[in-house]
Amino acid sequence: MNDELVRVISSLNAERIAYALATVVETVGSVSAKPSSRAVIDARGRLLTGWVGGGCAESATCKAALECMETGETTILDIDLDDEVLGAGMPCGGHMRVFVEPVLPRPQLWLMGHGRVAEVLCTLADLMGFDVIVNDTAVTRAQYPAAKRLITDDLDYRQLAPAEHDFVVIASQHKGDHESMQRALACKARYIALIASRKRSGLVLEYLRERGVDADSLARVVAPAGLDLGARTPEEIALCVVSQMVMVRRGGSGGDKKALVRAPAGADLRTMRRRTA
């Protein structure tokens, strides 16, 4: 990988900007690019640096890169340079294969608050592929070892700045939750949730409504937060919330994958499966 590719990739990674890396893995016949040729393509389908062949080869690769960044999946692109009608429109007498890999920044979770639920949520979210930013004056690194960043000097939540694909969870134990919620709604976060009882959630939403927050903005708030798993402990509550975050991130439904037979207490599940097979 040449110095320019390294420089561009390092810059994109530092700025948390999505891109795709295209690598020529095979060539046959007359092809301008060679195996191991690489290019970096941005989220608008523009080739930033590198080389995978000119003309339609580059165009096809950039199009595939956009699709990969949309789905998050890699692909191997077969480009026929020998068929003027059905191929790339470039009868050069060759063929090439390009491996296209999307490089997407980890989504950020802005976690407001402290306490056992927040501590477990930080750990679980990190395991699920989120970069966690904890914003609370009472937190320490020892309590949140998995956090990417701790903010402990933000009394008015001015440092709360989630991007469009970020997640915000407010777990401030009734202390300032209405203020941090108002700040969160001013941003374009993908998911905004409040960990609170139904009564407290209603009070927070009513407070915001009285202060002029419109109905469409309030509809963005998930309150109470999390999937209904019948949770009771702080650890179970954190699991409900991070499960909902994964569902939103991956486009899941939150429903059962398969209809299950509820087994009576003490039943042999292996026997139950045989009976229902």
pLDDT of residue 253: 86
pLDDT of residue 265: 53
pLDDT of residue 272: 37
What phi and psi, each to the nearest 5 degrees, are found at residue 253? Answer: -100, -20
The closest alpha carbon to 51, from 15, 77, 21, belongs to: 21
Residue 177 banded pLDDT, cuts 50, 70, 90: confident
Give the span between the Cα atoms of 80 and 92, in whole angstroms. Answer: 9
Tell me the mean pLDDT in the region 75-79: 93
pLDDT of residue 63: 95
Tell me the mean pLDDT in the region 32-47: 92
DSSP H helices, the chain, are 3-14, 55-71, 116-127, 177-185, 198-210, 215-218, 234-250, 269-276
pLDDT of residue 129: 95
Asked whether 109 and 90 are in contact (CB, 8 A), the reply is no
pLDDT tens readout for residues 242-268: 999 999 998 888 887 665 445 455 545
Give the span between the Cα atoms of 219 and 217, in whole angstroms. Answer: 5
**For residue 64, is pLDDT > 70?**
yes
pLDDT tens readout for residues 204-229: 899 899 988 889 999 999 989 999 99
64 vs 90, which has greater pLDDT? Answer: 64
pLDDT of residue 31: 78
pLDDT of residue 258: 64
Give the span between the Cα atoms of 28 and 93, in whole angstroms. Answer: 9
Lowest-confidence region among 46-60, 62-76, 130-144: 46-60
Could you say which DSSP state residue 139 is in?
A: -
Give the span between the Cα atoms of 236 and 226, in whole angstroms. Answer: 10
pLDDT of residue 188: 86
Give the span between the Cα atoms of 196 and 170, in whole angstroms. Answer: 9
**Quick one: tokens of 243?**
């499960």
Please state which architecture CATH assigns to domain 108-250: 3-Layer(aba) Sandwich (3.40)
Q: Which long-range contacts (CB under 8 A, 24 or more apart) does 153-161 make?
A: 157/112, 157/183, 158/183, 159/135, 160/110, 160/112, 160/135, 160/184, 160/187, 161/187
Give the span between the Cα atoms of 144 and 243, in whole angstroms. Answer: 19
pLDDT of residue 277: 34
**For residue 98, is pLDDT > 90?**
yes
Write down the pTM of the prediction: 0.76
pLDDT of residue 274: 36
**For residue 275, is pLDDT > 50?**
no
pLDDT of residue 1: 75
